[in-house]
């Protein structure tokens, strides 16, 4: 692997230079480091992401239905990578993980090849992300504070359009309660899955993509929330989530 040209990894800039901000881009950062692939990070502000997509003829990642808009609005997100070894550019963390395993099979795999394990991971990821979806609004409000001014203005404006409510309403007391109730439910659900594993990670002693999905979410909370809030979450489920973050931090280089 030493002869490989570094993969270009597009990540979202934040107020702390070199600090990963997005749990979605963290998944790809974990994968690249875990597989031992050389890469270089290009930090982008939110408004620059669309240009990257258009410049490389990439289709939008998804679309949002905006209140008052007759048609869905295209959305451009990171992560994305450009592999100079194959001249390919790929977006979406799962598609990137699949590409890295297929293109670079000599390193450790991030997605299980066993069909039963693959089905388990797919079911777990869907269940975890569905359970965590309910706490997105307060998380959005908190996360914006870690963005640079250019990205923060764009992020607030587009999320107000998406949610159809004034920005400050995302942090109302009922939204705070909703966040913690939803996060606790997601943690309890995930803990039941992890408790069935023979090791620290979802499939045993070696992490996989599903572990990076979970670790990225908690690392984002650690970065964007108050210290005492993170300490509270670390105590849940026998301290499982703090231990998971510590065990995967070495892959966030």
Q: What is the pLDDT of residue 253?
A: 76
How would you list the strands of the sheet with 7-12, edge to edge? 39-44, 7-12, 80-83, 88-91
What phi, psi does 3 have (nearest 5°)?
Answer: -90, -5
Q: What is the pLDDT of residue 134?
A: 63
Residue ranges of the chain that CATH labels 3.40.30.10:
7-103
Task: Return all residues near 98 (Cβ < 8 A) that are at least 6 apart.
Answer: 111
Q: What is the pLDDT of residue 120?
A: 82
Q: What is the CATH number of domain 115-251?
A: 1.20.1050.10
Q: What is the pLDDT of residue 59?
A: 92
CA 242, distance to chain mean position in Å, is 17
Q: What is the CATH number of domain 7-103?
A: 3.40.30.10
Residue 34, token pair as written in the block: 């875990």
Of the candidates 90, 119, 85, the residue with the CA atom closest to the CA atom of residue 104: 85
Pairwise CA distance, residues 188 & 116, whole Å: 23
Taking 50 as the pLDDT cut, the residues of the chain under it are 1
Distance between terminal CA atoms of the chain?
Answer: 18
**Contact (Cβ atoms closer than 8 angstroms) between residue 216 and residue 27:** yes
Of the candidates 237, 245, 187, the residue with the CA atom closest to the CA atom of residue 20: 245
Residue ranges of the chain that CATH labels 1.20.1050.10:
115-251
């Amino acid at each position: 692997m030493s002869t490989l040209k570094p993969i270009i990894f597009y990540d979202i800039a934040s107020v702390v230079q070199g600090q990963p901000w997005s749990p979605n881009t963290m998944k790809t950062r974990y994968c690249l480091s875990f597989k031992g692939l050389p890469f270089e990070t290009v930090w982008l502000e939110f408004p620059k992401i669309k240009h990257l997509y258009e410049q490389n003829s990439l289709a939008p990642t998804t679309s949002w239905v905006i209140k008052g808009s007759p048609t869905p609005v295209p959305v451009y997100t990171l992560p994305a990578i450009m592999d100079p070894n194959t001249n390919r550019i790929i977006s979406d963390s799962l598609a990137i993980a699949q590409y890295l395993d297929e293109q670079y099979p000599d390193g450790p795999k991030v997605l299980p090849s066993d069909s039963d394990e693959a089905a388990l991971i797919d079911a777990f990821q869907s269940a975890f992300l569905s359970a965590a979806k309910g706490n997105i609004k307060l998380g959005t409000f908190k996360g914006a504070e870690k963005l640079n001014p250019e990205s923060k203005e764009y992020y607030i404006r587009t999320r107000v359009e998406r949610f159809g409510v004034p920005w400050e309403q995302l942090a109302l007391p009922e939204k705070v309660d909703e966040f913690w109730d939803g996060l606790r439910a997601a943690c309890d659900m995930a803990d039941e899955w992890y408790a069935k594993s023979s090791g620290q990670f979802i499939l045993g002693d070696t992490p996989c993509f599903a572990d990076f999905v979970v670790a990225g979410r908690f690392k984002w909370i650690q970065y964007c929330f108050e210290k005492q809030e993170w300490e509270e979450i670390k105590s849940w489920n026998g301290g499982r989530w703090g231990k998971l973050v510590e065990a995967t931090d070495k892959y966030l280089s």
